[in-house]
Amino acid sequence: MIGTITASFETLYEQSSMIADGHLSKAVKCIDSELGNGFAKKNPALVGAFMQAAVLELGFSTLAQQVRAGLETIAENSASALGEPLSVIADALEAGLCGNAIHTSISEAIHMVAETLAQE
């Protein structure tokens, strides 16, 4: 099972500057490697876009992992009838679906759980 995030908000906040620094260093190295030495320094907007893309990827991955952990917990603690639909959603999350697809899957899962619990 994928673990849930247990760090406090303060810890996550303190780590954020270290993560941003790592993204900045990686952005400069990658951009200069692809487009020539010094290109990143001459194009700060590209560096910013690279960092934003990296942060979005981390955010969506973290969200998907936490949703999957929650769905697995629900599946383990609910009626066996929920197991199959929730595993399909978990597989979709693992495959990298994001945005509206995640929202739709979460909504469907919540409705299934609510309907099942109402029947019990």
Note the pLDDT tens digit of each residue in 100-119.
Answer: 555 555 656 655 665 665 56
Answer whether residue 2 is part of any domain: no
- Greater confidence (7 vs 81) lies with 7
Answer whether residue 4 is part of any domain: no
Residues in the chain: 120
* E-state strands within the chain: none
Between the alpha carbon of residue 29 and those of residues 2, 17, 40, the distances in Å are 32, 18, 8
Answer whether residue 1 is part of any domain: no
Number of domains in the chain: 1
pTM over 0.75: no
Answer whether residue 67 is part of any domain: yes
Q: Which domain holds residue 50?
A: 9-119
Answer whether residue 71 is part of any domain: yes
Integer Cα distance of 21 and 28 in angstroms? 11
The answer to whether 102 and 64 have CB atoms below 8 angstroms apart is yes
Answer whether residue 111 is part of any domain: yes
Answer whether residue 61 is part of any domain: yes
